[in-house]
Structures are given as structure tokens and as C-alpha cells.
Amino acid sequence: MRILPLLLALALAAFGDVKVEKIWSDDEIKAHESGEFLRFSLYKLEGNVTGATLLIVGGVHGDEPGGYFAPSILASRYKINKGAVWVIPNLNAESIARSRRGLYGDMNRKFEKISATDRDADMVREVKKIIVDPKVDLILNLHDGHGFYRERWESAIFNPRAWGQTIVIDQKTLTDVKFGAMDEIAKRVADKMSESLKEEHHFFRVRNTETRYKDEQMQKSLTYFAVTNLKPAFAQETSKNIDALALKVEYQLRSIEEFMSVMGIEYERDFELSVKGLQAVLDNSGTLKINDKISLELTELRNILRFMPLRGGNKDRFVFDHPLGAVKPIDDRYDIFIGNKRVSSLYPQFFTDDCKLDKAAIAIDGVRVEKAIGETFEVKNEFKIEPIENVRVNVIGFSAKGTQNESAIAIAKKNMVARFSEDVRGAIYRVEFYRGDDFCGMINAKFVK
């Protein structure tokens, strides 16, 4: 089974092309197809006008959702007009899907040295190459941290050992390096963040770990690796004690926007940067395409779908349009994730799929149209699939006594059994096409008012 990060074709249609790089070689992909690993992806948002390049890394810790949902939105809903923003939203993808800090130990303590047999070795090696790329001018590593940082002890939540609501630097400056005034930049960002707080105690502060002299653990971190390679780097931490994910993501994105302002990077976005606006974005899980023959709308998908026609034998290809989409094979099913949220479990029925079918003709509310395999069509009253020679039509949720081929039958929503719908609202139904034992593909019928 090949698990791929997705081209954001639909979400980015208004913004033009975004480069999505394949991080692994074919041999490395094969080595990871056992399901033990999920791959990270690199999105390159590049403006028409040249300028500085910002690298954003999210998800080094899988239990810090503010640190990976924010960059996923940046990758899918922002357009860069000047400069460039490179985004890794899901560095520790396996741990994100399990909502664990690190399945194989703390990945953010493996940048000084790492054993070749460490299961994180490939990811760490590849992100190091990206960090030291000559085009990269500044790095942000995104996190959710415990509590609220204070210079003096106030309580178990508000104290000098807390990490939440901080811009973390390893040292004040890098000499003769572009954007090397890290303390000055961090203070500017922290001050800007404090202008738009939802609660007074959410203010941001700069935390200088003085890593070289005082913190052996931080010497193993991603940001210190960057600094030792003369790359200005900052860790950005929202608080785990803020419950609302949308608010944490808002803080992360406002901070990122201020860093872009510092760097002269010009951008636009297609949503309101507010808790309400972000909640709508976070609620949209996008679409999953399977083998170019199946399309599933994930936002209101049922938590279990059975008899999903797949290939098996590690031949299935899953393509999401959400940067945090992932598939995890578990026992007799495939679990579908958006970040740390399990969206659904697919229980497969395996078929050969040598049948080649590009489209089907359908009468939708009395109007004849042609729809490509993998598409979804909307219908108000009824639809009828035109017969295709040697192809059997199976409409999941519909049954006509004594009929195996359900083409040439007018089907209305009242004829459907709601519990067989793809979605929880009972609106979307699978129309499957078969030739003998071959699965030819699927089109979705979506009933609308």
C-alpha cells in the first residue's frame, strides 16, 4: 500500500500551483509500506517576486496539535506573493496519528546524533537536509508547551519552567547572518502577539535557553542544529492549557504572519483569522481519493465503511487534499486520519481492477450528463445510470427485487436505505461499476435539497 501526501488541487485552485516534494526514494517508500511508518511532506509556497525563504516545521511532537494543524492550514489556505514559505506540517507523522509525543522516543532530542537503526533516523536525516538548504533563511519549529511561561514562580501552571506562550531562542544573535538578531526578532513577535489576546494571561514572552552553556537537552534539538549551521531558528510554543484548538492555531498563525512580516514575505489567505473562521477551516477534513477510482468526502464520513472495493496486496494508492491526511493499516481495516483525529475505518473487499472505465452517463433530475469515475454529482429528485455494455451497476443502499444490474432505474432518495450512506446525514451514496470480477470504479450520488 502506498501512502502519499496530497496535492492540494482543490483547496489551492484560486491560488495557483504549490510544489509538493516527495521526500523519500522509491526504495525508501517500499521499506516503509509495511505500515510501521508514515511519511512527512514538504510544501513549497513560492511567490512570483523573489525574497527571503521561511521554513516552518510542525509535528515533531505528535501530541501537540496546535503545532501541526497551524502549518497544515498555512500549506493549504495561504498564497505567497513575495518570497517563499516552505512547510513541513507533519514531520513526526506516525506519532501524530497515534497522538503520542514520540513513538520511538523524543524526535526533538535526536538532531545532535542519532543511531542508524533508530526508527526516526530517516525523518531526521531528511529534515536536516532541508534545514541546511542554502535557500532557507529562517526556521520556525512549532509546538504546544505546558503551562504559561513566567520569569518568576506564580503557580504550577505559571512559572519559569513552563513553555507555553513563548518564542524560544537558543541564543541572542548569530553574527553576520541574515535575520541573525534573534532576540530582537523574538521580542518583536512576542510584543505583536500581545496585541490580540483572547485572555489577558495568554501573553507571549521570549525564552532564551542559552543552549550552548546551560541546556544539554536543548543541544540535541532541531533549532540548535539549525543555529549551529548558521541558520536563525525559533521554537514557537502555544499553551497546552488552552483547550480550544482553534485559538491555539490562531495564535500560531498570527505569530507566523509576524515572522513573515519581519522577513518581507508578502501573503494572502482565504479565510478570517479568528476562532470562528479557523473553526470552519478545522472542521473541513477534505477529500480522499483511492486508486483514482473512489472519492470520499471526509468531513461527515461515517466512522465505519464496509465492503470498500480495494486492490489489496500493498497496491492501493490513497491521496488526500488535506496535508495531515494519513492511512494506517490495522488488522483487517484501514484507519483514516486527519492529524490526530481518526475520521473513519474502511473495511475492504478486494477485487481485481483491470476494468478501464473513464466515465458514465447519468440522467440527473431529467438532464443527461456525463460524470468521470471518482466524481460526485448532486441530485435533488432522482437519477438514472445509463446502461454500459458488459458493466453491472450496484447502488449501495438501493435494492430492486430480482435485479442485479441497477442501471436504467430511476432512483430517488426515498428509495435509499440511509444506514448505507457514506455520510452521517444520509445524503451521499456509492454508485459502483463492475465488469465480471473486476471493479471499474465509483461515482457518488449526493442528494441535496
pLDDT band at 21 (very low <50, low <70, confident <90, very high): low
Statement to judge: residues 311 and 267 lie in one domain: no
List the grid coordinates of 297: 468526502
∠ CA 36-129-123, rounded to 5°: 10
Q: 14-28, 54-68, 96-110: lowest mean pLDDT where?
A: 14-28
- According to DSSP, residue 397 is labeled T
User: Of 267, 307, 332, 302, whose CA–CA distance to 419 is shortest?
Assistant: 302
Instruction: Tell me the whole-structure pTM to 2 decimals.
Output: 0.91
- pLDDT higher than 80, residue 32: no
Select from 342, 353, 344, 345 the least CA-distant residue to 313: 353
pLDDT surpassing 70 at residue 261: yes
Domain count along the chain: 3
Q: Cite the DSSP H helix spans in 155-299.
A: 182-193, 211-214, 222-228, 245-263, 275-282
163-194 pLDDT per residue, tens: 999 999 999 999 999 999 999 999 999 999 98
Answer with the residue of higher pLDDT: 330 or 396: 396
Q: Please say whether the dihedral angle defined by the alpha carbons of residues 258, 259, 264 and 270, taken in this order, is positive or negative.
A: negative
pLDDT band at 353 (very low <50, low <70, confident <90, very high): confident
Domain co-membership, 346 together with 384: no
Q: Which three cell numbers stand for residue 334?
A: 484501514
* Same-domain pairing of 130 and 100: yes
What is the per-residue pLDDT across 422-436, written as a single tens digit (0 to 9) for each? 999 999 999 999 999
**Whether residue 402 sits in one domain with residue 344:** no
Candidates 343, 333, 342; CA nearest to 298 is 343
Counting other chains too, the contacts that 192-201 makes at CB distance below 8 Å and 24 or more residues apart are 192/254, 192/255, 192/258, 193/251, 193/254, 193/255, 193/258, 196/254, 198/247, 198/275, 201/148, 201/158
Lowest-confidence pick of 24-28, 348-352, 367-371? 24-28
Sequence length of the chain is 449
Q: List b or e across 156-174, with b for residues whose CB sees 16 or more CB atoms inside 10 angstroms.
A: eebbeebbbbbbbbbbeeb
* Average pLDDT for 115-137: 96
Tell me which of 419 and 19 has the higher pLDDT.
Answer: 419
Q: What percent of the chain has pLDDT over 70?
A: 92
**Which tens digits make up the pLDDT trace of 277-330?**
999 999 999 999 999 999 999 999 999 999 999 999 888 999 999 999 999 888
Contact yes or no for 64/148 (Cβ under 8 A): no
Domain residues for 338? 287-350
**How high is the pLDDT of residue 23?**
46
376 and 413 belong to one structural domain: yes
Q: Are residues 298 and 251 in the same domain?
A: no
Question: Is a pLDDT exceeding 80 seen at residue 31?
Answer: no
Do 11 and 118 belong to one domain? Answer: yes
Any bridge partners for residue 296, and if so which?
Answer: 288
Enumerate the β-bridge partners of residue 376: 444
| Domain-terminating residue out of 282, 316, 336 | 282
Question: Which single residue is written with the C-alpha cell 483547550?
Answer: 243
Task: Please indicate, yes or no, whether residues 203 and 273 belong to a single structural domain of this protein.
Answer: yes
Residues 389 and 265 in one domain: no
**CATH code of 29's domain:** 3.40.630.10
Domain termination site, one of 331, 350, 369: 350
Arithmetic mean of pLDDT, 90-102:
94
376, 446 Cβ separation under 8 angstroms:
yes
Least confident of 2-6, 249-253, 394-398: 2-6
Q: Do 172 and 141 share a domain, yes or no?
A: yes
Is residue 368 classed exposed, middle or buried when 0-12, 13-18 and 19+ CB atoms within 10 A define those classes?
exposed
Residue 12 has pLDDT above 50, yes or no: no
Taking 80 as the threshold, does the pLDDT of residue 35 lie above it? no
How high does pLDDT run on average in the chain? Answer: 92
Domain boundary, last residue among 282, 302, 318: 282
Cα-Cα-Cα-Cα dihedral sign, residues 409, 378, 418, 298: positive
Same domain, 318 and 175: no
Cell numbers that stand for 194 in this block: 500581545
Q: What is the mean pLDDT of residues 116-132?
A: 96
User: Do both 342 and 424 map to the same domain?
Assistant: no
Mean pLDDT on 366-371: 98
